[in-house]
């Protein structure tokens, strides 16, 4: 059952607390996980999953943060068993009701998601890892570093929803949004510098496979769950998306945090910022006094879209290499989507950037109502 504090998942105090918790006494046992995985020891993994399960009394005494930490730790073993070819809950069926209860009490899906694997994962000696390779740590850090900024970005999007593009505040908010989205570029640069496509494709990717929980097939905790789609939704995608990207978003929503799912519910079907700026531009002649503010809005909006495009361009580079035919083990990403979809999303982002950029430079209405 969702608790009221579950809506607060993801604030800094909560993240630090979850990282510090070890409700299943898993610290020492999970430190051996990379060794067990290197030996492909399915028997040891099954025993580990069974040993970590809390008894009903212990589980009942957990608060929300304990439940999140417990899901994080069980999740590491789920992904490991699946990587070695077994469906984890077929091997340890008594884990199923525990996962269902942990999911329900945290208002999240009944398996670990990217926030468990990265954000809520402690750093240092207690860090939970599948392979123990330094490249895995860089990937976890790359998600950790964007998470607080995305949280701030989404709250800014929420405020922008109620702001008029002719208001001078609109550009100020967009510039703040741009500053919160920019760390996505630092994040992918960190990965490009320290993670080889071969390591990702051959060693790490197999741990992010889907697992079946109580009949539902649930995706692994990979970076594709980082909700850039939710920023897109406000900026351009609520009314300028494609069927494929909408499908990806539809499948991604359940893996998101409660607060972000709530934001998504409120944003579906609303006019995007791009559409609102273009429409305001059409009315420009009637509202001559607001022209400078509107141009500033268009310029700032174009800057946000450019930042997202830069991230996506660099991200595409490593995704293409990791999924080239002679390297990959799987035809699609762990988020269930292909490199072709990444290309489509970049193209859409660019198209929208060009529209508002052209508007920032021209006095004539451009492309309004093209959604």
Sequence-ordered strand ranges (E) for the chain = 211-213, 216-218
Whether the Cβ atoms of residue 212 and residue 87 lie closer than 8 Å to each other: yes
Min dist CB 290 to ligand HEM, Å, is 33
Please name which of 234, 222, 239, 224 lies closest in space to residue 260, comparing C-alpha atoms.
234
Coil vs helix vs strand at 227: coil
Quote the Cα angle for 185-187-193, to 5°: 100
Binding positions for ligand HEM, rule: CB under 6 A: 142-143, 146, 187-188, 191, 195, 200, 223-224, 226, 228-229, 312, 315, 318-319, 322-323, 332-337, 339, 342, 345
Min dist CB 170 to ligand HEM, Å, is 24
Looking at the Cβ atoms of 29 and 314, the one nearer to ligand HEM is 314
Looking at the Cβ atoms of 73 and 344, the one nearer to ligand HEM is 344
Min dist CB 199 to ligand HEM, Å, is 8
Phi and psi dihedrals of 196, rounded to 5? -90, 145
Residue nearest to ligand HEM (CB): 333
Please name which of 108, 99, 120, 148 lies closest in space to residue 14, comparing C-alpha atoms.
120
Looking at the Cβ atoms of 38 and 330, the one nearer to ligand HEM is 330
Phi and psi dihedrals of 212, rounded to 5? -100, 120
Looking at the Cβ atoms of 74 and 339, the one nearer to ligand HEM is 339
Looking at the Cβ atoms of 30 and 224, the one nearer to ligand HEM is 224
3-state per-residue secondary structure call for 127-163 = CCCCCCCHHHHHHHHHHHHHHHHHHHHHHHHHHHCCC
Min dist CB 211 to ligand HEM, Å, is 16
Min dist CB 245 to ligand HEM, Å, is 9
* Distance of alpha carbon 83 from alpha carbon 221, whole angstroms: 13
Looking at the Cβ atoms of 101 and 232, the one nearer to ligand HEM is 232
Min dist CB 134 to ligand HEM, Å, is 14
Looking at the Cβ atoms of 131 and 290, the one nearer to ligand HEM is 131
* Distance of alpha carbon 49 from alpha carbon 92, whole angstroms: 7
Min dist CB 10 to ligand HEM, Å, is 15
């Amino acid at each position: 059952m969702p608790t009221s504090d579950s809506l607060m998942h993801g604030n800094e105090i909560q993240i630090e607390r979850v990282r510090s918790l070890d409700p299943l006494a898993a610290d020492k046992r999970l430190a051996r996980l990379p060794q067990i995985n290197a030996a492909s020891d399915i028997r040891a993994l099954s025993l580990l999953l069974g040993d970590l399960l809390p008894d009903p009394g212990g589980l009942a005494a957990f608060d929300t943060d304990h439940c999140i930490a417990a899901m994080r730790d069980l999740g590491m073993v789920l992904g490991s068993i699946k990587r070695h070819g077994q469906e984890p809950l077929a091997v340890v069926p008594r884990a199923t009701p525990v996962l269902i209860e942990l999911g329900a009490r945290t208002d999240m899906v009944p398996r670990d998601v990217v926030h468990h694997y990265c954000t809520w994962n402690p750093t240092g000696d207690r860090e939970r890892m599948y392979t123990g390779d330094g490249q895995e740590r860089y990937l976890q850090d790359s998600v950790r570093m964007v998470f607080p900024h995305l949280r701030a970005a989404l709250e800014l999007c929420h405020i922008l929803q109620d702001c008029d593009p002719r208001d001078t505040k609109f550009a100020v908010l967009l510039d703040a949004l741009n500053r919160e989205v920019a760390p996505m570029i630092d994040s992918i640069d960190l990965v490009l510098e320290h993670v080889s496509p071969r390591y990702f494709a051959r060693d790490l990717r197999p741990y992010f496979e889907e697992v079946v929980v109580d009949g539902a097939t649930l995706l692994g905790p990979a970076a594709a769950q980082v909700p850039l789609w939710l920023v897109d939704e406000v900026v351009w995608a609520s009314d300028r998306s494609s069927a494929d990207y909408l499908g990806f978003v539809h499948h991604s929503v359940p893996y998101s945090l409660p607060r972000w799912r709530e934001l998504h519910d409120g944003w579906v079907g609303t006019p995007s910022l791009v559409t609102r700026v273009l429409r305001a531009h059409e009315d420009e002649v009637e509202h001559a006094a607001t022209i400078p503010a509107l141009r500033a809005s268009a310029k700032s909006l174009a800057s946000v879209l450019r930042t997202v495009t830069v991230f996506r361009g660099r991200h595409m580079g490593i995704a293409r290499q990791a999924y080239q035919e002679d390297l990959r083990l799987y035809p699609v990403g762990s988020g269930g989507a292909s490199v072709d979809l990444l290309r489509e999303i970049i193209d859409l982002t660019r198209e929208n950037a060009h529209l508002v950029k052209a508007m920032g430079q021209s006095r004539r209405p451009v492309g309004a109502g093209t959604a």
